[in-house]
Amino acid sequence: MVSERDILRGKLNVAQIYADPKTFVDKPTLPSAQQVLSNFQNITSSGNVTEGEVVNFVDSNFKGEGLELEAITIPNFNSNPAFLNNITDPLIKAWSQTVHGFWTSLARNTNDSTLCGGADDCESTLIPLNHTFVVPGGRFREQYYWDSYWIIQGLIQSELFDLVNATLQNFMDELENIGFIPNGGRIYYLNRSQPPLFINMLHDYVAATNDTGILTRALPLAEKELEWWQTNRSVSVTSPYTNKTYSLTRYGVTNSAPRPESYLTDYLTANDPTLATPLTEDERAELYSELASGAETGWDYSSRYIRTPGAGGSNNTNVALRALNVKGTLPVDLNSILYKAHVSLADLYNQQTHSAAASTHLQNATTIREAILDLFWDPTKLAFYDFNLTSNVRNDFFTIVTFFPLWNGIIPDEVLKLI
Ligand SMILES: OC[C@H]1O[C@H](O[C@H]2O[C@H](CO)[C@@H](O)[C@H](O)[C@H]2O)[C@H](O)[C@@H](O)[C@@H]1O
């Protein structure tokens, strides 16, 4: 059902007041949402609205984007962590020092005093977080799931262990309160997650700090994370190569509308007036689901998920996007990440002398490893490829994902022989 809010968002996006559709959805309302809707009706009821009236309406009914988050000073920031002393090349050292300094402009706290609250209050898309976090920056004002993995690799090198802990605490709060880790810290991301790297972040943090105290809270939540992926994203597949049946994981989001933060781009992909064949309503809904699933992969968007890569050329990428097949693809990277998650979790359980739980996870890892080698590994081309559930064969699109199993410790015999 299309709500009044959807109509308002749609009309304001079509008016293109902001170049980036994310700007508008990141603005909290000034009065209550109900009041905003009624103010909108007042200016649109005559049927004729000028651009100036729309701009005035937005200015007087919405606050600035991003104001609920505040930049913070990182306590005891060490501008010369040990890793810098190991770099001998002066150019690389200067570059690394500069990159290390970026943390000071990317750390954020939720500004509690600006949050919307009770009845008749303003409304916001922000998911408030209790602990400090690091943002990707620019239009990405909030905490993101898989970006945090790469961020944590850097924070560990920079010896900013409290920030790593705080990031993990935020994810644990989300697992506890929401049931999974959403794509990012906005309510419009609540229909999807991102590459499930929480357990690997946790493992890296414990390895770097030996703070095993975190595990009392983290281990049950790590189980919850894996259960979410198993319940919501796993599929059963029988290998055309060995006839064995496995449970593997793919990205797949239930969604039938444009992504609010990319409203106009998604709408135009589905309704492109320059394309000869209009989509039916069901096809549009399915495309919106594929677009959101593509965002869940973290690779929004890559030819590896497109049935006819390159179709439409670079002049009109809508043709290729309409051929997205994310839900029909078993991704090498996702399943390699989950393999490593089981191995890492087993290691953490072993450190806590929970050997039964450790061996369950090692068993799960062994099963995923077998499936990865069966379905994704091409022994003649010596490379890993995604598996296409629609055509029931391995894809032949070579990308960097070929390295994911290797990075995560799955080395095929043919490669071992070459070493
Ligand atoms: O750096 C944050 C993320 O940025 C890209 O994706 C995000 O933007 C999309 C459009 O606004 C949104 O729909 C998606 O859900 C967001 O995650 C990037 O592709 C991601 O890899 C990255 O995590």
From first to last of its 419 residues, what are the pLDDT tens digits of the chain?
Answer: 567 777 787 788 878 889 899 999 999 999 999 999 999 999 888 888 888 888 999 999 999 999 999 999 999 999 999 999 999 999 999 999 999 999 999 999 999 999 998 777 999 999 999 999 999 999 999 999 999 999 999 999 999 999 999 999 999 999 999 999 999 999 999 999 999 999 999 999 999 999 999 999 999 999 999 999 999 999 999 999 999 999 999 999 999 999 999 999 999 999 999 998 899 999 999 999 999 999 999 999 999 999 988 888 888 899 999 999 999 999 999 999 999 999 999 999 999 999 999 999 999 999 999 999 999 999 999 999 999 999 999 999 999 999 999 999 999 999 999 88
Do the beta carbons of residue 290 and residue 300 sit within 8 Å?
Answer: no
State whether 280 and 351 are in the same domain: no
Bridge pairing between strands 107-110 and 133-134: antiparallel
Residue nearest to atom 20 of ligand 1 (CA): 298
Spacing, Cα 79 to ligand 1 middle (Å): 30
CB of 26 closer than 6 A to ligand 1?
Answer: no
Taking CA atoms, 57 is separated from 44, 48, 134, in Å, by 10, 14, 33
pLDDT value, residue 315: 82
CB of 136 closer than 6 A to ligand 1?
Answer: yes
pLDDT value, residue 107: 98
Spatial distance between the Cα atoms of 163 and 148, rounded to a whole number of angstroms? 11
**Closest ligand 1 atom to the C-alpha of 192?**
15
Residue 403 lies in a domain: yes
CB of 147 closer than 6 A to ligand 1?
Answer: yes
State whether 319 and 357 are in the same domain: no
CB of 261 closer than 6 A to ligand 1?
Answer: yes
CB of 180 closer than 6 A to ligand 1?
Answer: no
CB of 110 closer than 6 A to ligand 1?
Answer: no
State whether 345 and 385 are in the same domain: yes
Total domains, the chain = 3
CB of 300 closer than 6 A to ligand 1?
Answer: yes
pLDDT value, residue 2: 64
ipTM of the complex: 0.93
State whether 397 and 290 are in the same domain: no
CB of 204 closer than 6 A to ligand 1?
Answer: no
State whether 339 and 245 are in the same domain: yes
pLDDT value, residue 56: 93
Spacing, Cα 352 to ligand 1 middle (Å): 36
Residue nearest to atom 21 of ligand 1 (CA): 298
State whether 320 and 369 are in the same domain: no
State whether 383 and 347 are in the same domain: yes
State whether 246 and 348 are in the same domain: yes
State whether 347 and 406 are in the same domain: yes
CB of 342 closer than 6 A to ligand 1?
Answer: no
CB of 158 closer than 6 A to ligand 1?
Answer: no
Residue 92 lies in a domain: no
Q: To test ligand 1's pocket by mutation, which of 181, 265, 300 has the most ligand atoms within 8 angstroms of CB? A: 300
**Closest ligand 1 atom to the C-alpha of 22?**
11
pLDDT value, residue 49: 85
Residue 177 lies in a domain: no
State whether 265 and 398 are in the same domain: no
Of the residues 280, 303, 327, the one at which a domain ends: 327
Spacing, Cα 349 to ligand 1 middle (Å): 33
Q: Which domain holds residue 26?
A: 4-61
Of the residues 296, 327, 358, the one at which a domain ends: 327
Residue 364 lies in a domain: yes
End-to-end C-alpha distance for the chain, whole angstroms: 58
Place of tokens 């209790």: 130
State whether 322 and 310 are in the same domain: yes
CB of 65 closer than 6 A to ligand 1?
Answer: no
Residue 292 lies in a domain: yes
Residue 162 lies in a domain: no
Residue 191 lies in a domain: no
Of the residues 327, 347, 373, the one at which a domain ends: 327
State whether 336 and 318 are in the same domain: no
Residue 45 lies in a domain: yes
**Closest ligand 1 atom to the C-alpha of 136?**
1
CB of 252 closer than 6 A to ligand 1?
Answer: no
Residue nearest to atom 22 of ligand 1 (CA): 298
